[in-house]
Amino acid sequence: MGLDSNKKLKSYIEREQLYCVLNDTKWNKLFNCLEPNQDYLDFQRKDLDESSPIENKWNGDIYEIFGLIQKVEWINIHILKSHESDILDSIKKANIPISKHGENYRVWGYIRQEKSPEWLYT
Region 29-37: what's the mean pLDDT?
A: 97
What residues does each domain of the chain span? Answer: 6-113
CA distance 95 to 51: 29
Q: Among candidates 26, 19, 41, 17, which has minimal Cα distance to 117? A: 19
In terms of pTM, does the model score above 0.75? yes
Question: Does CATH place domain 6-113 in 3.30.1240?
Answer: yes
pLDDT, tens digit (0-9, with 9 covering 90-100), for 58-98: 999 999 999 989 999 999 999 999 999 999 999 999 999 99
Instruction: State the CB neighbour count (10 A cutoff) for residue 32.
Output: 11
Helix axes 24-34 and 84-93, enclosed angle (nearest 10): 150
Q: Among candidates 10, 22, 27, 7, which has minimal Cα distance to 111? A: 22
